[in-house]
Structure 1
Amino acid sequence: MLKSKVAVQVVSSGILQDDVIMLGEAYLKQWKIPQGQPLTLKFGALRQPVKVVPVEKFDGMRIGQSLARRMGLYASTTLRIQYRSETSILALGPLIGVLISRDDPGMKERPFGSITMFCKELVDACAVQGAHVYFFTPDHITGNSNTVEGWVYSGGWRKTAVPAPDVVNNRLTSRKLENKPSVQHFIKEVKSRHNTAVFNEKFLDKPEVFEALVKDSAVVKYLPESHVLRNFTMLKSMCSKYPSVFLKPVRGSLGKGIIRISRAENESFHAFYTTDGGTRRQNFSSLLKLFSSISGKMKTVRYQIQQGLYLIDNGGRPVDFRALVQKNEAGIWKVTSIVARTAGSHHFVSNLARGGTLSTVREAVAKSNLTSVTGTETANRLNRAALEIAKGIDTHIPAHFGELGIDLAVDTGGRVWLLEVNSKPSKNDNTPLQDQKIRPSVRNMIRYSRHLAEF
């Protein structure tokens, strides 16, 4: 078996110049690396002509401090190694860049706010797998696509110039930032110039997802009837078809701005609004009056109107499920986790930001009013739905995704329904870290990055 990881030691520049690296003899033999001939060392976008000096009875690589700094390395580390004889390229990596929304250099311990712990977890997971990761924001992108200013971790967080990476994980949480010309230009440039793979390239709007998936015969059974709400006629049609409907902001998240409309007696209607303090109800004597009250909002917010479902609940509190689906080291979708989310009291959405609570699928089903299907069978159905939906997104939406948060629901008959798909699943510090262990979701992100960078 080829030695695929190498311990990289950083030594004084007085001992080693940038154009010389020292490598244990075992690596030269295994990878058939020629001695004394000029090679190119590759690390992300960095290309450095080097000569390799073999070292007897040494199981590692030594590079000079000056070269290490240009690579964004401040201490000895372990990286994956690969020699490509047809191009005489000795590649180290993978170099992973995580594009995040903001940083605060003044906060030395928590420069990335609520996702700092997740970022450190990625650093630790890379150390185990032989990868190197840095973090950068749209403000760090310069006109030069060969390098960016990024945050690396070496005994503490520090900012330094780093080569453009082999893989970019786009974790921007704002469409405004993602659509900045500098960000779009950078992504286009690194793809074309450095063959960088970029995943989770873009946000998904609710109608885009439903319009794409309705074409997929394997997935259509999970889709409640949904349309972009354009006029009163559409609202009237949906309200005559279903006892309740949901209006969801096309670009909403965290359960914000959702309105539930229910038919009452004598042609009157109730509208329920999500607020931070709970659900607010308003009564309307006619559907037209209700429409008039929301038509002002429709000038600034596009809504998706969706069939209301009779979901399972726990003591009157609705239950839904969040599946995290990720591509693995072979580039194949796998379900990493599925958790049940029970709405907080006085809420009809289950988001944790609104007092929802987490549990396992089996626990939630056992406590719910679902009697026709077991917790195990429900978990299997959710698993199957999540995978089919992820594959459907890949097939029908022209963008590259490596992980998706898929919100699912189960009705009182045990049928699984899709609520929405999130291409930027949350990584906040309030996600439980189990005894400082590296979570499977973090390990999987690096495995998929290795697959993309061919390490």
Structure 2
Amino acid sequence: MNRKSFMVGIHKKSENTMFLPSSMKQNGLLYAAFGTQVARCHISFKKNLERTVLLSENLFHELMIPHRSQANIIIHENTVFIGPLIGIFTAGFTKSLSQPFKERSLFFSKLLTLNLQSGGYCFVFGAHQIQWEHGTIEAYLYRENGWEKKTVPLPNVVYDRLPNRKIEDSVLLQETKQRLINEYQIPWFNPGFFNKWEVHQLLEKDNRTAPFLPQSILHPSVESIDALCKSFETVYIKPANGALGTGIYQLTQSESGLTVKHTNEEKSFTSIEYPNSSAFLAAFEKEHDAASFLVQQGIDLIEFQGRPADFRVHTNKNASGKWDVTAIAVKISGKNSITTHLSNGGTVKTLAELYDDPKERADMIRKLSVAALTVSRVLNEHIEGFIGEIGFDLGIDQAGKVWMFEANSRPGRSIFSHPNLTSVDSLTKRRNFEYASYLSEQAIVAPEKLWP
């Protein structure tokens, strides 16, 4: 098996032939493949080719290769595979080719541009773009002149970028996903949003990760609120499927009663006094289904300039399918805020901005990386499907202990608005394409490793 990167182009003076460098010569090659499209052809070897692979124009079009590009070549058994062909699965399409995904169009254009530098082919698609009877997709590709549509085969691998839980749960999208996985054996990574409580239960049962978890109880009750408020200075109530810091309540017990702070839809903060937890819970249950919330121990976080701070740590699988830490940023709470979320007035800093001492900074990186990689590996062992990236919200208390507040399978990217985090922003995206290439290759040469 060989795997190398080449410029894939067209040879106009031949028919139904693929030309490979003579250094790759081997007998018995009969087929060329691109995505799920396979064509029988003549394989020829040329001495004057080095980092180029050429296909007859009719073969190039039969395989539905959308354009000339740098791509990987994998030779396995009697077939030459060109790729990877990566499909990014999403929803929320418009009829505008200038902004086919509304405000997310810029994000996807940058993502696909980055893939062009990495090699292979990448496109965006949704359930409605698949022509099942032909095994093809009306794909959205981003090129020098902007967005364009091309018909391509079903991909080697799918990178899931569905925007929210509600869309993810739609019957059509779930059926589409299962069909591509089960009928076509296409690896699908980042298969779904995490549920806070389910993740907590998984990690709580494992001795490697249990020490990182704040005490948490599903479905707040008067008894659970009173018990935690008695043990800890602050207590939080959070939605099990929340995002961006919305719907979080901070509870503080005093002799006069219970002080409750929370963020409303306008992102302003309110503080209400209740005589006891029973009065608070009665008011809370008028607005929320308490069964979908959890009550959690508050942590006395380290502070910067008098404001609590925690850390966003990104982990990604790399080209070998192994976990790496790709980004670490500090999130500092906004004025009067109960969380460090940017949407609630928080700010982002780099570790270098807050830790002048290289030794202190290295120690912080080590602590956070050990925790993030440990949790990544444990989640990977217990959650079905292929996970390619996780965004962690980690905290460090005044005693130096690391805590994990949240794990996000579709991590937000607001921290990368910091000008000094641009390079790691690109790295986190590039790792997703590296992992996609790894999955694509494994599905070809060693599928038993992916689906034991």
TM-score by length of 1: 0.87
Q: Distance in 1 between matches of 2:419 and 2:35?
A: 30
Structure 2 SS opposite 1:165: coil
Q: Identity, % of aligned pairs?
A: 25
Do 2:31 and 2:79's aligned partners in 1 also have CA atoms closer than 8 Å? yes
Matched, 1:82 2:82: no
Q: Distance in 1 between matches of 2:70 and 2:355?
A: 45
Do 1:98 and 1:133's aligned partners in 2 also have CA atoms closer than 8 Å? yes
Structure 2 match to 1:454 = 441
Do 2:10 and 2:55's aligned partners in 1 also have CA atoms closer than 8 Å? yes
Q: Distance in 2 between matches of 1:228 and 1:322?
A: 24
Say which of 137, 141, 145 aligns to 1:148. Answer: 137
Say which of 419, 426, 436 aligns to 1:439. Answer: 426
Q: Distance in 1 between matches of 2:179 and 2:25?
A: 31
Q: Distance in 2 between matches of 1:224 and 1:348?
A: 17
Structure 2 match to 1:370 = none
C-alpha distance 427-120 of structure 1, shift in aligned 2 (>3 A):
farther
Q: 1:104-143 residue pairs with structure 2 within 5 A?
A: 104-106=94-96, 108=98, 110-143=99-132
Do 1:343 and 1:349's aligned partners in 2 also have CA atoms closer than 8 Å? yes
Matched, 1:312 2:302: yes
Say which of 39, 43, 46 aligns to 2:37. Answer: 46
Q: 1:205-284 residue pairs with structure 2 within 5 A?
A: 205-266=195-256, 268-275=257-264, 276-284=266-274
Do 2:73 and 2:83's aligned partners in 1 also have CA atoms closer than 8 Å? yes
C-alpha distance 236-174 of structure 1, shift in aligned 2 (>3 A):
same
Do 1:322 and 1:339's aligned partners in 2 also have CA atoms closer than 8 Å? yes
Deviations 1:115-140 (A, max 9, x none): 43443333333333321111112332
Q: Distance in 1 between matches of 2:207 and 2:150?
A: 49
Say which of 311, 318, 333 aligns to 1:321. Answer: 311
Structure 2 SS opposite 1:4: strand
Shift of residue 190 of structure 1?
2.1
Q: CA RMSD in A?
A: 2.8
Shift of residue 376 of structure 1?
3.0
C-alpha distance 31-272 of structure 1, shift in aligned 2 (>3 A):
farther
- Which runs of 5 or more structure 2 residues have no equivalent in the other structure? 443-452
C-alpha distance 231-428 of structure 1, shift in aligned 2 (>3 A):
closer
Q: Distance in 1 between matches of 2:56 and 2:417?
A: 40
Matched, 1:23 2:19: yes
Structure 1 match to 2:448 = none
Q: 1:147-226 residue pairs with structure 2 within 5 A?
A: 147-155=136-144, 156-226=146-216
Shift of residue 326 of structure 1?
0.6
Deviations 1:375-405 (A, max 9, x none): 4322211111111111111122233211000
Between structures 1 and 2, the one with greater helix share: 2
Matched, 1:32 2:19: no
Q: Distance in 2 between matches of 1:209 and 1:356?
A: 25
Q: Distance in 1 between matches of 2:3 and 2:53?
A: 12
TM-score by length of 2: 0.88
C-alpha distance 431-159 of structure 1, shift in aligned 2 (>3 A):
farther
Q: Distance in 2 between matches of 1:145 and 1:419?
A: 46
Say which of 405, 409, 418 aligns to 1:419. Answer: 405
Shift of residue 289 of structure 1?
0.8
Structure 1 match to 2:333 = 343
Shift of residue 107 of structure 1?
5.1
Q: Distance in 2 between matches of 1:65 and 1:434?
A: 45
